[in-house]
Each structure stands twice: as C-alpha cells, then as structure tokens.
Amino acid sequence: MTTAPITSTLPTATPPASGSSGGPAAWARGAWRTLRRSRRLTIGFAIITAFVLVAAFGPLLSGNPDAFSQDLSQPPSGAHWLGTTQTGQDVFAQLIASTRGSLVVGAAAALLATAVSIVIGIGGGFLGGWADEALSLISNVFLVIPGLPLVIVIASYVKGSSTLATIGVIALTSWAASARVLRAQTLSLRSRDYVQAARLYGERRWRIVLVEILPNEVAIIVSQFIFAVIFAILTQAGLAFLGLDDPSAMTWGNMLYFAQNAEALSGGSWWWFVPPGLCIAVFGAALSLISFGLDEVLDPRLRVHRPRSGRRTRTKGTAR
Amino acid sequence: MRYLLRKLGFYAIAAWMAVTLNFALPRLIPGDPVQLIMARQAQQGPVPPGEKEALAKMLGLGNGNIFVQYWDYLVSTAQLKFGLSVTFFPTPVSSVLNSSVLWTLLLVGVSTVISVVIGITLGTVAGWKRGTWLDSLVPSTTFLAAIPYFWFALLLLYLLTQIWPVFPGNGGYDPGVTIGWNGAFIQSAVQHAALPAITIVLSSVGGWLLGMRNMMVSTLSEDYVSAAEAKGLKSRTVMIGYAARNAVLPSVAGFAISLGFVVSGSLVMEMVFSYPGIGYTLFQAVSNNDYPLMQAVFLVITFAVLSANFLVDMLYGFVDPRTRQAR
C-alpha cells in the first residue's frame, strides 16, 4: 500500500487509532485525512519521503562513491546496480551520495530565499509607504533581470569555491517572485478587521506580524518554498553542468557534468547519464504534485468533484 | 501618460541597477580581480598585450577614487565600449555580439511563440473539459517542467542525431554552405534550428498549459459564463468568446515575467547544441575566463529582456485599461 510510509513523514503523526481527543493527535488525524483526500498529495509525499530517507541513510549503507575498481564502463549488473563510470566508480553509490548533496543544496538555498522573501515581502507590505515603495522596487528589479545569466556571471567570479557560495548565489536570484506574492497577500491581510482590532488593542508591530499575519500566509509560504526547492536543484544542476560549481561536491549536477565530459552518452554509457537527470525530474515532479495537492485541498475552487462541475460534465456526457 | 512615465522610470532604474551590479561584482570578490583573471587566462594561453589595462578599465578598476571609476564605467558602457574579447582576440566585444544576436532572436522568438500558442490552446481545452481524461494528463506536464533542460536536450540530441539520424547535429548551419540570403543556407539553417526549437517547445509548453488551465477553471465558475450557457449559446462560443478570452489575460501579463526564463532557457539550449547565438557566446566566455565578453553578454541580455518587458507592459496597458490605474 503506497500510503503506508506516509504517517512517519508528518511532524507529529500518530496512528489515527490512538483515539485521544483534542491536541496534537486530533491535528495529526486532520492532517492524515487531508493527505488522504488528494491522491496527488499522497503520491508526492511518498516519493519525497523515499528521497529524504535515501539522502539521510543511503550513504551509510552504500559503498564508497569515490572508490575506483577494475570494472571500467560496465553496464548495470548484479555487482554494480547502475553500472560503473569510465574510471570504474560505482554509479549507484555516486547517485546515493549525490542525492544527499543535491537535497542539501536545494533545501538550504530554498530556505534562504524564502527567508529573504518573507522579510522583504511581508515587511514591505506591512510597513507600507516609503519602505514598501523601496522594497517592492528592489524585488521588481530582481524579477525582471534575467536570473540565469546573472547566476552564471556571479558564479564565474566565485568559480568552484564552495557549495556555500553556490547556495548563496541561487538564493540571491530566486527570492523576488515569492516576495511579490507575499507582499500582495500582506497588503490584503493588513486591512482585515482582526488585524485592525489587534492594532486598536495596542499590540506591538512585530507581534501583529508574527501572530496575526504570518500564520495566515503559511500556505503560500509553503508553496513558494516548494517551488524554490525545485528551482534551486535545477539551477544547481545547470551551474554544475557548466562547470561553475565546486566539482568535489557530490550532486546530481556534478554527476551529469562528469558524465558529459567523459562523453558518456556518445560512448553508449547511458546508465551513467540517465539516472541523475531522472532523479531530478522525479524529485521535482513529486514536489509539484505536493504543491498542486495542497492547492486542491486548500482552494475548493480547484477541486474536481463538486456539484457545479458535475453538472457540466454530465450534460456534456449526455450530449456526446 | 503617467502610466508610461512610471513604467519608463522603473525600467531606467532596473537598467541602472544591472549596470551597477556589473560594476560592483568584481569589487565584491576578495583579492585583486585583475591579477586573478590574468592568472586564469595565462593558464589557457598567452595573455594579449595591454590586457591588464583593458581588464582594469572594463571592470571599472581604473585610477582615481571609486566615484571617478564608477563614472568612467558608466560612460564607457553608454558608448557601448566593452573592450576587447579574450576569446576572439583582437575582435571588439561589440562585434562578437553583433554576429550572434540575430541567431538567438530568430530561434528563441519563433519557438516561444509556438510554445505559447500550443500551451494556451491545450490549456483552454483542458480547463473546459475538466475532469476528463484530457485534464488528467495535465499533471504529467509538471514532470516535463521538472526535467533539467540540458539533460533532456542532450538525450534528444543523442537519440535523434546518433541513434536515429533524423536531424543534423550541432551548430546553426552546415559548415559547407556560405552565409547569406540564398536557398541552400536558409534550408540548412532551418534544418539545424528544428531540433533546438522542439526541445524549447517541449520543455516550456507545460507552464503555459497549466497556467491557462487553472485560469480557465476559475473563469468557468463566473456568473457570465453560466449566463452564456443559460442563453443556449454554442459551447464553442462560450469556451472561446466568454471563458478563454478572459482567462488569457494573466497569461499575457505573465509573458513579460517569463521572458527572463525564456532567455535563460535559450542560453542553455545554445550551449547544448553549440548554436551560434548569444548563449553559446556566453558559454565560450565563461570557459575562457573572458570577463569583458561575459559582462557585455549579461548587459545585452538584460537590456533585451528589459525592453521586451517594457513593450509588453505598454501593450498590456493598451489591451486592459484596468492596469493603467493600478500601480
């Protein structure tokens, strides 16, 4: 059953059977039901859990990814599940190690970008006036300046220095879009009655932002974070492919870089070139599935089975 | 008029920030950038004479205090003096760019238009037939969008040029033909452009499709669509004239924002296919540590995207009067 491992991914997930009322258990039951309600959400969570588990524990179980052997450019076999590279390294072990590297880069860059976008987006939207003008000007400029050329230029100055630099460069160029979304949402929230009420109570500004506004934007922030992770992993892969990332770091992008440099494809070593790209694609697709699933659950208008749409499809069904 | 001035002001500031960023970057890295760059260039071959001065000038690291340097840099950028290219020494950077811009514009322009038209058409139909088998195919486009572009393109390049040789290999044209407005050259150029164009369309169509589909779904629940249905209009008329017509507006607005991504995608495309456009030039500049060329390519791309954005904004203000009031 595909949904079996899901329970462990939820932060406070306890089996629904432990029927205590209220508190975290009820919350977990609610989350579990939400998860079950959308098939996309379920599949997405299952895949991401698998990747995270591999990233966390895989490197402990698989062999040394840098170890050389006498089997050069061997196709997949029992000894080497995904074959070997030109220099006899095990592709499967490399893939496992790279999963950890790519996930770390993706999550770190996305966290950084989301943090920046929260500060600039919510800060600007809440403060309003002069600060808002300045902050939204900056985010609009970063939005129109094409990202990848900027990343390439910056990365070529700090060429191959460290993974940290790569994370910083990616975060620098990817916060703008979500800052704009968050600003728009904050603008609409700050004039709501409950925020006005909090102001009349004389609550402090930071308290209003943290307690009244931020919790109501969590759904947007999560969805922006998910897309930031996809963007970060894709950008990192692109940078690594151009040789602009630290080549000693183990990531999917660096695997592709070395595979391409060794002309793995034209040499017929597809087992070296195909898996890293496929991993990126599957991981990214699973993240988007989660994001769409969340949208579906949170925004009833996007849900497929509801009375109105039922009417429309039914009428068309009879017409056909 | 105020709308126009406001937009003009914004893009002027954006352009100025891009130039300033270009000026600031070499100063932000630790160490002496000129020495660093010269050392890297020396590893790859002889450094052209006068390179030190040219580099210093190009990077804005001339004499005087920082404000004088900044002013000099602004002036030489405004005069399109980008210095000499290291990769194609002693060709000036500006003429290297001249020969590559047209390739990119044609290929990227045509394939983007194709992608937008296909995406919006399919999105309209998928949103209209929500819940049917066609609509259930939509999530698969997220898989397409999550594929690293260069990986996908290299795979196609390998499959379609080596395993099944349907398309010609790398480059923008057959090296045997002479460049010019003759039949043989145009035919060769089109043949070489086909595969890159297909990869661009395949990798970018999903975004347009999804956006249009979701907009279509929310538009379909509007009252005027129900009213049109209730009047007994043909479903084709309702779909195109009532729903799609209003649902397409955000896609038009999104077009401006997505231009940056389109250009980014084309950069990688050209690197993969060795297509003689501006992205390939950037790639060569990066692999040869050709900083003058690299900075110039960045500025040219940025300015192109900014002007295209400005045009789209103007057009959109014309199409949808509501945006003229909104800030």
3-state SS string for A108-159: HHHHHHHHHHHHHHHHHHHHCHHHHHHHHHHHHHHHHCCHHHHHHHHHHHCC
- Can you tell me the mean pLDDT for B243-266? 74
pLDDT at B154: 83
Number of neighbours of residue B223 by Cβ within 10 angstroms? 8
* Surface-to-core class of residue A154, CB atoms within 10 Å of its CB (0-12 exposed, 13-18 middle, 19+ buried): buried
* A10 pLDDT above the threshold of 50: no
| Whether A140 and B295 lie within 8 Å, measured CB to CB | no
pLDDT at B8: 85
Q: What angle do CA B26, B30, B36 make, to 5 degrees?
A: 70
* Surface-to-core class of residue B167, CB atoms within 10 Å of its CB (0-12 exposed, 13-18 middle, 19+ buried): middle
**A49 contacts A8 by C-beta, under 8 angstroms:** yes
Residues of B in contact with A308 (CB under 8 A): 221
pLDDT at B324: 62
> Sorting pLDDT into bands at 50, 70 and 90, what band is A107?
very high
- Can you tell me the mean pLDDT for A146-168? 78
- Can you tell me the mean pLDDT for B203-215? 82
* B186 pLDDT above the threshold of 90: no
- Can you tell me the mean pLDDT for B212-224? 83
Task: Give dist(CA B148, CA A275) in Å, integer.
Answer: 12
Q: Across the A/B interface, how many CB contacts are shorter than 8 Å?
A: 160
> Sorting pLDDT into bands at 50, 70 and 90, what band is A183?
confident
* B225 pLDDT above the threshold of 80: yes
* A3 pLDDT above the threshold of 60: no
pLDDT at B256: 67
pLDDT, greater one: B44 or B288: B288
For B145-168, write each residue's pLDDT tens digit.
778 888 888 888 888 877 777 677
Task: Give dist(CA A282, CA B39) in Å, integer.
Answer: 42
**Nearest Cα residue in chain B from A140:** B14
Task: Give dist(CA A74, CA A86) in Å, integer.
Answer: 8
> Sorting pLDDT into bands at 50, 70 and 90, what band is B40?
low
A157 touches chain B (CB under 8 A): yes
pLDDT, greater one: B18 or A60: B18
The sign one gets for the Cα dihedral A105, A107, A108, A113 is positive
| Whether A144 and B14 lie within 8 Å, measured CB to CB | yes
- Can you tell me the mean pLDDT for A51-74? 75
**B194 contacts B273 by C-beta, under 8 angstroms:** no
Which residue do the tokens 């089109």 mark? B190
Lowest mean per-residue pLDDT among A98-107, B199-208, B315-324: B315-324
Please, which residues 48-67 of chain A have a Cβ atom closer than 8 Å to chain B? none
Tell me if residue B242 falls in helix, strand or coil: helix
For chain B, helix, strand, coil in percent to 5 are 75, 0, 25
| Whether B146 and A287 lie within 8 Å, measured CB to CB | yes
A165 touches chain B (CB under 8 A): no
pLDDT at A112: 94
Instruction: Name the residue type at position B42.
Output: A
> Sorting pLDDT into bands at 50, 70 and 90, what band is B327?
very low
Q: What angle do CA B42, B48, B49 make, to 5 degrees?
A: 120
Lowest mean per-residue pLDDT among A103-117, A163-177, A217-231, B96-110: B96-110
For B110-128, write each residue's pLDDT tens digit.
888 888 889 888 888 888 8
* B262 pLDDT above the threshold of 60: yes
Topology of domain B103-288, CATH: MetI-like fold (1.10.3720)
**A5 contacts A23 by C-beta, under 8 angstroms:** no
> CB-hemisphere CA count at 13 Å for A281?
18
pLDDT, greater one: B244 or A303: B244
pLDDT, greater one: B172 or A4: B172
* A110 pLDDT above the threshold of 90: yes
Tell me if residue B92 falls in helix, strand or coil: strand
- For the record, the structure tokens of A52 come out as 């995270």
Please, which residues 159-178 of chain B have a Cβ atom closer than 8 Å to chain A? 162
Lowest mean per-residue pLDDT among A6-10, A203-207, B21-25: A6-10
Residues above pLDDT 70, as percent of chain B:
75
The sign one gets for the Cα dihedral B82, B88, B90, B91 is negative
What is the least distance, in Å, from the CA of A304 to any CA of chain B? 6
* A16 pLDDT above the threshold of 70: no
For A279-295, write each residue's pLDDT tens digit.
888 888 888 888 878 87
Residues of A in contact with B14 (CB under 8 A): 140-141, 144-145
* A111 pLDDT above the threshold of 90: yes
Residues above pLDDT 90, as percent of chain A:
4
| Whether B151 and A152 lie within 8 Å, measured CB to CB | no
Task: Give dist(CA B44, CA B238) in Å, integer.
Answer: 64
Lowest mean per-residue pLDDT among A168-182, A253-267, B23-37, B281-295: B23-37
Task: Give dist(CA A292, CA A223) in Å, integer.
Answer: 9
Distant-in-sequence contacts of A71-79, Cβ < 8 A, 24+ apart: A73/A267, A73/A269, A75/A271, A76/A271
| Whether B130 and A277 lie within 8 Å, measured CB to CB | no
* Surface-to-core class of residue A84, CB atoms within 10 Å of its CB (0-12 exposed, 13-18 middle, 19+ buried): buried
Residues above pLDDT 70, as percent of chain A:
78
Residue among A1, A2, A35 at smallest CA distance from A16: A35
Q: How far is CA B197 from CA B157, B208, B278, in A?
A: 12, 16, 16
**Nearest Cα residue in chain A from B288:** A156
For A75-85, write each residue's pLDDT tens digit.
777 666 677 77
* A12 pLDDT above the threshold of 70: no
pLDDT at B168: 73
**In which region does residue A115 sit, left (phi positive, over 0), alpha (psi from -120 to 50) or beta (all else)?**
alpha
Angle at which helices A91-127 and A270-298 cross, to 10°: 30
- Can you tell me the mean pLDDT for B75-101? 71
What is the least distance, in Å, from the CA of A260 to any CA of chain B? 9
pLDDT at B19: 85
DSSP A196: H
Closest Cβ–Cβ partner in B139, B263, B295 for A40: B139
* B33 pLDDT above the threshold of 80: no
* A202 pLDDT above the threshold of 50: yes
* A18 pLDDT above the threshold of 60: no
Q: Which CATH class is domain A83-304?
A: mainly alpha
pLDDT at A319: 34
**A15 phi and psi, to 5 degrees?**
-55, 140
A242 touches chain B (CB under 8 A): yes
Number of neighbours of residue B162 by Cβ within 10 angstroms? 12
